[in-house]
Amino acid sequence: MGHSSFHPTPRTLMGPGPSDVHPRVLAAMAQPTIGHLDPQFISLMDDLKALLRHAFQTENPLTLPLSAPGSAGMEAAFANLIEPGDKVVVCINGVFGMRMAENVRRMGGELVTVEDEWGTPVDPQKLSDALAAHADAKVVAFVHAETSTGVCSDVAALCGIARQAGCLTIVDAVTALGGIELRVDEWQADVVYSGTQKCLSCPPGISLITFSPAAAEHIKARNTAVQSWFLDLSLLMGYWQGEGARAYHHTAPVNAMYGLHEALLMLYEEGLESAWQRHRNMHELLAVGVQELGLEFVVDSGCRLPQLNVVAAPEGTDEAQVRRKLLADFNLEIGAGLGVFAGKVWRIGLMGYAARRENVQLCVSALRESL
């Protein structure tokens, strides 16, 4: 058979991620590759960490990009904090809470789950009750922005409850960062991770993570080696810190880091508050269009994620057929439902560069025609 270069048809990405990549980010990634220990790259690493601390709203020195997608951020959080036999409380209200629980199981932790119905936030009272019943718990984990259901949970409240019980917290902010309010230091979250492919308008492939001083102390006091060599924070910091003399750990995806830097720079230029407001504004615009089509949101307005909109497919509609039509006729991608929502909903992303007026108009008019 003959082989040829790959040229994808440009799409408008309004699913649950990856989201539309900004042209500035693509242009940054096309720059010449340099060595991952080149002095120029090392100065880029330092600027990346500063921009990342700004995005997370933290002063944590241990704030860095990981050379692997968002799920690696999750694994790094659990692998560094958990030792075999540690009791961990995981709040589950969608797919990503379930993944957190799976990490605990695989790392030999003792798992306690707090479950809430899909489409609703994590219930702080349930967490309080679980911690009262399990006074020996060491870590509490939950999802800030549950991508599978479009629900936002109250990070400040949940972290406060965990801290009163003497637990460290792990927060999944993969879909949150850059899209909704996230204040790591003010809310006293211990380990927070995210990814590039949602509200940062960057291609998938890098996860972002920050560890509080308390989490760092906990890791230093471990009795066993971190289960993952690649994600062991002490080894990673030898590469990402170290004045002048950085230890070789792995070859960072140099061009992907250029893209991340540009994306974080754009977030810094726009201003976090402005970015959060833009996502809210575009959500409100979409809400008007969705309601005009006679469609309904699944999630209550009080805990709805502006950047991930879960819309119920009307009775008797073949939701997959509608998605295929949007892709074929409009080069528009929206997402399917997962888990209990499979076959029943569409997930419409307004993340990063996709959160623009013309995208909302395209989505609403394309849905009108496809229904």
pLDDT in 10s for each residue of the chain, 371 residues: 899 999 999 999 999 999 999 999 999 999 999 999 999 999 999 999 999 999 999 999 999 999 999 999 999 999 999 999 999 999 999 999 999 999 999 999 999 999 999 999 999 999 999 999 999 999 999 999 999 999 999 999 999 999 999 999 999 999 999 999 999 999 999 999 999 999 999 999 999 999 999 999 999 999 999 999 999 999 998 889 866 678 889 999 999 999 999 999 999 999 999 999 999 999 999 999 999 999 999 999 999 999 999 999 999 999 999 999 999 999 999 999 999 999 999 999 999 999 999 999 999 999 999 99
- Asked whether the beta carbons of 326 and 370 are under 8 A apart, the reply is yes
The residues spanned by each domain of the chain are 12-18+272-370, 23-268
Residue 356, φ and ψ in degrees, nearest 5: -135, 150
- Asked whether the beta carbons of 210 and 85 are under 8 A apart, the reply is no
**Fold match between domain 12-18+272-370 and domain 23-268:** no
CATH code assigned to 12-18+272-370: 3.90.1150.10
Q: Which CATH number fits domain 23-268: 3.90.230.10, 3.40.50.1460, 3.40.50.300, 3.40.640.10?
A: 3.40.640.10
- pTM for the model stands at 0.97
- The number of beta carbons lying within 10 Å of the beta carbon of residue 330 is 17
Q: How far apart are CA 70 and CA 143, in angstroms?
A: 13
Instruction: Give 181-187's long-range contacts (Cβ < 8 A, gap of 24+).
Output: 181/276, 182/56, 182/57, 182/144, 182/155, 183/57, 183/156, 184/56, 184/57, 184/58, 184/60, 184/210, 184/212, 185/57, 185/58, 185/59, 185/60, 186/57, 186/156, 187/155, 187/156, 187/159
